[in-house]
Structure 1
Amino acid sequence: MDEMPPFQRARRPEQRELRRQEILDAAESLLAELPAEEISLRELARRLDVSKTHVVRYFESREGVFLELLNRMRRSWLDAVEWPTDPDQVMPVLADSLAARPILCQLWSMLPTVLERNVSVETVRAYKLVDLEHRTELANQIADRVPALSADDALLLTEHIVVGLVGLWPFSRPTPTVVEATRDDPRLARARVDFPARYGELLRVMLAGMTTRDSRTATP
C-alpha cells in the first residue's frame, strides 16, 4: 500500500480503510484516558490533528465510531479467549477474559442507551449483522465445550451474556459518592461489585438454568 501523509484525502478503498482504522485507534486511545461521554468527534479530530470534517467523511457520528470500535474489539477478544476443556470453567473464563478488557466492556455496556442512537439505519444494521456473526461464533465455542447445551440455547445464552454485562458493568464502576457511601458499612457489602466474580456467578447461574431445562425437556 502506498505511504500517505497524515489524513491526506483518501481516494482508494484501501486508503479509506486505513483512515477508518486510524480514527478507531485514536478513539481507543482516548477511551483509555477519558470517560466515553467526554469524547466527541471534535476531541477525536484534535487527537488526529485534523478538522472535525475529516472525521465525518469516514464516520457519521461519535456513536458510529464507537459502534465500529466495539465490533473491532469484540473480534480481538474472541480471537484471544483461551477456552478451558472443563465445562464448569467456561463461564468463569469468559467472565475473566471480558473483565480484562475494560474498554470493550465500557462500550458494550453503552450499546442500548448511547451507541445505538444518533446513527443511521444502515449503520445499526451493519453493526447488528457483525454482532450476530460474533455471537454465533461465541455460541459455537460454548456449545462445543458444554455438551448439555443445545446449539439454539447456546445462541440464546449469548444474548443473556450481553444483557448481563450491560446491566452489571456500570455498577462495577461506581461514582466516588457511591464508593464513600458503601465503603465501611457491612450491610452494603453486596453494593460493592467485583465485576469478574459477580459476572462469573451470574453466567454460571444462567448456564445451569438452561442446561437443567434442556435435561428436563429431554426426559421422557
Structure 2
Amino acid sequence: MDDVEVPAFQRARRPEQRELRRQEILDAAEALLAEMPAEEISLRELGRRLGVSKTHVVRYFESREGVFLELLNRLRLSWLEAALASEWPAPPCEPDGVMQAWADSLAARPVLCQLWSLLPSVLERNVSAGTVRAYKLIDLEHRTTLANLISDRIPALGADDALTLTRHAVVSLVGLWPFSNPAPAVVEATADPRLAGSRVDFATMYGEILQTTLASLLARAK
C-alpha cells in the first residue's frame, strides 16, 4: 500500500529504539484520530498504518486504550507548553478573558478534546490499574501546571481553588464535547430553525462554563 509508512527498524532492542517506536505508534494514532472517531480505531488499524502487525503494537502498549491515554498526555503537555509560551494573555489579565483564551485554545485542538472527552467511558477501560495510576499521576502534574498558570493570571484565585477549577473544567469538557460534535443525523435535525437553541458551539459554551465556575470560586473565596 502506498500510504503505509516503512518502520525505521523491525525490532527495537535499545531503550532509545523502543521510545522511538512508541512515538511512531502515537504519531500514527494521532493521524488516525484526525480522520476518524477513536471508537473506530483498532490496534490492527494502527499496525496497518505503520506497516506492522497488531502483535507488534502490543509490545509497546497493552491495549488501544493504553495508546490513547499516552497520546492524551502528550497532546495535553503540548497544549500547556503553547499556553505558557504565548497563546494565553500575559498577566495581569481580565479573568473572563483568561477563561475564554482557555476555551479557544482547546477548541483549536479537536483531537485533544476528543480524547479527553472519552476518558471515563473509553480510555480508562481495558487497561491495567498500573497504567491508569501512571496516567492519573501525569494528569495531576499537568493540572497543577495549569492551575499555576491560572493563578499567575488571576491572583485572587488561590492555588487550591485553581486546582479545583481544573477538575470542574475536565468534567465539563467530557460532557460538552460530544454535544458540540454531534452525529450527522443530529446536525441535520437541528438545522431546523426551531431547534437553533439545540446547536452548541464548544468554544462559546465552554468559555461561559469556565467563567461561571471561576466567578463562583472567587465569590466563595471572599
TM-score, scaled relative to structure 2: 0.92
**What is the SS of the residue equivalent to 2:131?**
helix
Among 62, 65, 68, the residue aligned to 1:63: 65
Residue of structure 1 equivalent to 2:201:
194
Query: Which structure 1 residue ranges, 5 or more long, are not aligned?
Result: 216-220
Matches of residues 28-43 of structure 1 in structure 2 within 5 Å? 28-43=30-45
In structure 1, which of residues 191, 214, 218 is the aligned counterpart of residue 221 of structure 2? 214
TM-score, normalization by structure 1: 0.93
- 1:60 is paired with a residue whose SS is coil
Aligned-residue offset at 1:183? 1.1
Report matched runs for 1:54-203 at 5 Å.
54-81=56-83, 82-84=87-89, 85=91, 86-88=93-95, 89-186=97-194, 188-203=195-210
Cα deviation, residue 87, structure 1: 2.9
Letter in 2 for 1:16: R
Name structure 2 gaps, 5 residues minimum: 1-5
Q: CA separation in 2, counterparts of 1:100 and 1:59?
A: 28
Alpha-carbon distance in 2 for matches of 1:100, 1:17? 28
Deviation of the 1:7 alpha carbon: 3.9
Asked whether the equivalents of residues 7 and 51 of structure 2 are also in contact (C-alpha less than 8 Å), the reply is no
Counterpart CA distance in 1 for 2:162 and 2:94 is 13
Rounded to whole Å, the distance in 1 between the matches of 2:48 and 2:152 is 46
Structure 1 counterpart of 2:181, which letter? R
Q: In the alignment, is the contact (CA less than 8 A) between 1:116 and 1:124 conserved in 2? A: yes
In 1, the alpha carbon distance for the partners of 2:78 and 2:186 equals 33
- What is the one-letter code of the residue matched to 1:37? E
Q: CA deviation at 1:6?
A: 2.9
Residue 205 of structure 1: which of 209, 212, 217 is its match? 212
CA contact (8 A) 1:7 1:50 kept: no
Between the aligned residues of both structures, percent identity stands at: 74
Deviations 1:157-192 (CA, angstroms, capped at 9, x unpaired): 000110110010000111121112221233x22210
Q: Size of the alignment, in residue pairs? A: 211
Secondary structure of 1:203's match?
A: helix
**TM superposition shift of 1:5:** 5.6
CA distance in 2, matches of 1:140, 1:148: 12
For the residue of structure 1 that corresponds to 2:12, the secondary structure is coil
Cα distance in 2 for partners of 1:115, 1:30 equals 16
Q: Tell me if structure 1 keeps the 8 A contact 2:42–2:64.
A: yes
